[in-house]
Amino acid sequence: MVIQDILYETTGGLMKKNNGKEKIVVLDGYTLNPGDLSWEGLSQFGELTIYERTDPQDVISRIAGASVVITNKTQLDEEAIKNNESLRYIGLIATGHDVVDKKAASAAGIVVTNVPAYSTMAVAQMTIALLLEICHRTAHHSSAVFSGQWPLRKDDTFWDYPIIELDQKKIGIIGYGRIGRQTAKIAKALGMKILAYSRTADDPEIVSLDELYSSADVISLHCPLSDETYQMINSNSIKKMKDGVIIINTARGKLIDEQALADALNCDKVYAAGLDVVSKEPIEPGNPLLKAKNCFITPHISWVPIEARQRLMDIAVNNLREFLTGNPVNQVNT
């Protein structure tokens, strides 16, 4: 179906109008769709207003009168929810749902949904990419070639960081859900041995957390953030790890005590860390990891391949469709 829309600017956002009945507001569309995807799937359901970003003080005014609000990281607190009597549905274009006051939403009869499992392949791929960069220093050695260092060497090969082979090394995977298992699958293809920790899974690879800490050559985090997992990588847990361990985190930044990790990197207890997430994003200039040795940090990009973002968009559209037909799916509140 081709939708004939009029596109025009309105108070910092973009609005699409058609004959649908819902008033739909996207609070922070840029992260999901900086211009390489289409919002047509959502626009079929009503009048669609898309804001690239929304400051906290603008949330209440921007969602006024909307029956559907779509958000990624923009918070919808109790005040915002109570100030909009028209609101019936909050759709998260993300897996995490801590940005929404779900208790307030439930009290108001509002359905809240998320998008699970869209980024499994992408995040697992990024996990291994960070690990391989640590093992081969590809970017560094490529830069050395382009800066003219290779012709200055007497030999036909050179390297100035250790090159690490992963075959037969043990990778400890904390959190053995979809992403953890996909990471294990790739690691096995590289010849690695799997140790996994999970509170719910019952697989041959499952070991205690202490055994994982003491035995793993590489530790990769794939668990959700909770009171139990907050800063689980800290000075005490690092002491239990093998000297020279590699730590990878593509899950949540607050799983790690960043000062403790920086200290461990600087004294070589931890050989290297590959991080796609930090405790506060964007990263703050004073973050101790910015000055730590052998620390690789990427700006939360593990989920952003266009294939993953298209899946996210498709699931978000289907979530809204199912809600409007009276059969909500992926609901995260009761």
**Catalytic site positions:** 252, 281, 300
Q: Are 262 and 292 in contact (CB under 8 A)?
A: yes
Six token digits for residue 69: 């609000």
The full DSSP string for 54-108 is: --GGGHHHHHTT-SEEEESSS-B-HHHHHT-TT--EEEESSS--TTB-HHHHHHT
Pick from 249, 257, 253: which is nearest to 222 by CA?
Answer: 249
Whole-angstrom CA distances from 332 to 4, 229, 256 are 34, 20, 26
Pick from 43, 20, 36: which is nearest to 316 by CA?
Answer: 43
Pick from 65, 32, 61: which is nearest to 47 by CA?
Answer: 65
Alpha-carbon span 139 to 26, nearest angstrom: 37
Phi-psi category of residue 168: left, alpha or beta, with phi > 0 → left and psi -120 to 50 → alpha = left
Place of tokens 């081969």: 136
